[in-house]
Amino acid sequence: MYHVLIAEDSKPILRNIKGLIESSELPLKVVATAANGEEALAAFDAHSIDIMLTDIRMPKMDGLALIERAKRIRPQLKAVLISGYNDFEYTRKAINLQVCDYLMKPVHRGELAEVLEKVLAQLRESEGDAGSDFEEIVGRRYWREIERPPEFYRNPHVWILIGKRPFARIERSPLEAFAAAGLPIPAPYWAMPTVAEDRLLLVADASWPDRYESSAQLLEDVHARLAAVGFPSSLIGSLSPTEWNRIPEKYREASKQLEAKLPAFKPAMLEFDRREPTDPGFEEIDRLSGSFVSMIEQLSKERFLLMLSEQAGKWLRDGIRLAELQRFVRCVAGAFEALMEEGSSDAAWLNDQKDRLFDEASGERFCSELLAWADQSFQRVKSLNRKSGDELFVQIESYLGTNLYSNVSIVDLAHRFHVSTSYISRIMKRYSGQTFVQYYTGLKIKEACRLMETKPEMKVREISDALCFADPHYFSKVFKERVGCRPVEYKASRDEKEG
């Protein structure tokens, strides 16, 4: 049943319209009448009104001003104008106010029924459109099965998004925990499990917060009662009255806000309407992650584990956002994975264990398992390096031999072979007895000698440029150190032998 308000200063016309509506057999109930705009506006405090029929010209406040102010109170209100004037300017203003239709005096039964049926169709359509948004949140089947009396659509509501606290073990679903908590909520209310299994959307009458001294006290009571029945929770809610069809939009915003600000190791009870000007960023955690990634690339296991142990203690003591913690673990995992063979069983193990970390039952347990995971990751990386050192040297030697006319750096090799630069340095020293730069430079000097022997027409400068030396003078210096004479002298001696 939809509620109707009639605002008309002519009593005979008002009685006629009211009688026609009551005898129309349409799902409508006239809950209020008013002789002027101010009386009509006051009726919105006492009634939840879906449709308003109003005369354009009334004392104290005309119909257009009434519609404009009434829509601020109830944005979904459907308005129908009643007028005896064919005034174009009034019509233009009415269109801007999104008036549904018009009735000209005197009002006849057929015309009234036709207009009201069209308005009812619009109300049902808007309910269906907004209902589809709810279906995306709570699931189509559940949304269609729960009972929703007319009050659900008419009255504004308060709402709370309830979710499982991170690193908490639960033995019952959010809906089961809610039922056991015995919250003092005035009826009607709706506790709706969301498509996210560990979350519940609670929609309640706007009078519920009146039972508490503050919004914070209400959220604390919900949190405490849920914890008492074995459901450690994090909450975010809006205790300001909200139109039903705006709740899905607010729910999505609240989900993002909760994910951005949710503490990893402490409970959260956030008030949605008290949002901070900007969302917290990740600059600090990114700087910290960079330090730990550098230690992984250098295979500094002992230093890494010592610093991680100290950092974990700070997180438990001072707190950290869950989003920051997830970002840190992803960065660390990515650094380890870069040192493993792509698609290998070690890489699969690494990522599987990374995901399991966030299923731990407490913050202390998470930190302990994080250290163990990092320790094992180092062991696997070092084991891979020990097994493949000779093979890696052969691959590096082959790659450098085919890239003498490029300027390959040790960083390029690290990226290509998915190992750290420090590990490449150790491999080069172990298998060649030289540093990477010494070895690569030696290969280039050998190639320079070959060019002078096979391509005598090439000038020393051309050979220097082709082999990517910084300048001919540097090339000449390095050549003399390696060969014992300057390039021009070596080239001249070759020319003499051939002559």
Q: Identify the three-state secondary structure at position 157.
A: strand
- Asked if 327 and 225 sit in the same domain, the reply is no
How many H helices and E strands in the chain?
A: 21, 10
CATH number at residue 252: 3.30.70
Question: What is the rounded (10 degree) CA torsion for 136, 141, 145, 151?
Answer: 10
Asked whether residue 120 falls in the same domain as residue 11, the answer is yes
Look at residues 200, 183, 186 and name the one whose alpha carbon lies nearest to residue 237. 200
- Residues 241/206, Cβ–Cβ less than 8 Å: yes
Position 177 scores a pLDDT of 94
Q: Are residues 111 and 159 in the same domain?
A: no
190: β partners: 203
In a domain, 86, yes or no: yes
Q: Which of 271, 293, 323 is the last residue of a domain?
A: 271
Shared-domain flag, residues 100 and 199: no
Pairing of the two strands 157-164 and 189-193: unpaired
Long-range contact pairs involving 459-465 (C-beta distance under 8 Å, separation at least 24): 460/487, 460/488, 460/491, 463/487
* pLDDT mean by block of 10 residues, the chain; 499 residues: 89 92 90 92 86 88 88 85 68 63 83 90 74 80 78 85 91 91 91 89 93 93 94 93 87 89 91 69 92 90 95 95 95 89 80 91 94 93 69 90 93 81 84 93 94 90 92 92 92 70
CB 373 within 8 A of CB 355: no
Indicate the helix (H) or strand (E) that contains 179: helix 174-181
Q: Are residues 291 and 385 in the same domain?
A: yes
> Is 481 within the bounds of a domain?
no
Domain boundary (81, 107, 127) is at: 127
Helix (H, G, I), strand (E, B) or coil at 232: coil
Q: What is the CATH number of the domain that holds 290?
A: 1.20.120
Is residue 428 one of the residues assigned to a domain? Answer: no
Tell me, yes or no, whether 461 lies in a domain: no
Total tally of structural domains belonging to the chain: 3
Q: Note whether residue 136 is domain-resident.
A: no
Confirm if 475 and 487 have CB atoms less than 8 A apart. Answer: yes
Residue 119 located in a structural domain: yes
Shared domain check, 235 and 176: yes
**245 lies in the same domain as 314:** no
Q: At what angle do helices 301-318 and 283-297 cross, to 10 degrees?
A: 160
353, 370, 390 — which closes off a domain? 390
The verdict on residue 416 lying in a domain is no
Closest CA to 381 of 429, 427, 339: 339
Per-residue pLDDT, 92: 57
Domain that holds residue 345: 283-390
In-domain check, residue 403: no
Torsion angle (degrees, nearest 10) of CA 181, 182, 184, 186: 110
Q: pTM, whole model, 2 decimals? A: 0.60
Give the burial class of 262: count Cβ atoms within 10 A of its Cβ; 0-12 exposed, 13-18 middle, 19 or more buried.
buried
**What per-residue confidence (pLDDT) applies to 130?**
62
